[in-house]
């Protein structure tokens, strides 16, 4: 029965991580004076579900749409907001997994960390339409810093995995 709760916690973390990434973009766009909204792509959601059943993790269920002409600086700041949310949640997951080590609940915290580090790093790939292409166009040093934070989180995850006990 504990594993059902564990599974539900993990599914919830995946959904929340994706939504908070998108909300990072939305809130930053609105604070910058732009209209924005999240739009779900039903075909992308179906594609995500099919791939996940086959053992692949690739999420494309929707994105934040922003109205207006954005300059590179504003677009870069809005674009880094999503991966920044992921970096923060990866750090929370790392800390949480240390606090509950020895418990079955280490799994959702480790998942939170690895999922968010992966999501942040993937979105920083500098290929359109990913966030990294807009961030690097605005400020290459911010892009490098984002990549570095995600890399450090991955290294911490790898090192910590040797010490976990359930």
Q: Show which residues are catalytic.
A: 22
Counting DSSP H helices and E strands in the chain, the numbers are 6, 2
Strands (E) located in 13-133: 35-40, 62-67
Residues 66 and 2 sit within 8 Å (Cβ to Cβ) = no
Contact 123, 21 (CB under 8 A): yes
Residue for token pair 């674009």: 79
Q: Assess contact for 36 and 30: CB atoms under 8 A.
A: yes
The DSSP secondary-structure symbol of 125 reads S
């Amino acid at each position: 029965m504990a594993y059902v709760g564990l599974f539900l916690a993990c599914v919830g973390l995946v959904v929340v991580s994706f939504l908070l990434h998108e909300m990072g973009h939305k809130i930053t766009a609105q604070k910058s004076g732009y209209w924005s909204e999240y739009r779900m792509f039903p075909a992308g959601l179906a594609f995500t579900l099919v791939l996940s059943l086959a053992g692949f993790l690739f999420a494309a269920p929707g994105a934040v749409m922003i109205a207006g002409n954005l300059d590179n600086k504003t677009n870069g700041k809005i674009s880094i907001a999503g991966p920044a949310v992921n970096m923060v949640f990866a750090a929370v997951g790392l800390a949480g997994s240390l606090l509950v080590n020895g418990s079955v609940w280490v799994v959702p915290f480790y998942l939170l960390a690895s999922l968010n580090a992966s999501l942040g790093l993937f979105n920083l790939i500098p290929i359109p339409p990913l966030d990294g292409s807009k961030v690097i166009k605005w400020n290459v040093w911010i892009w490098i810093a984002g990549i570095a934070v995600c890399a450090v989180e991955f290294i911490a995850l790898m090192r910590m995995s040797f010490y976990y006990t359930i």
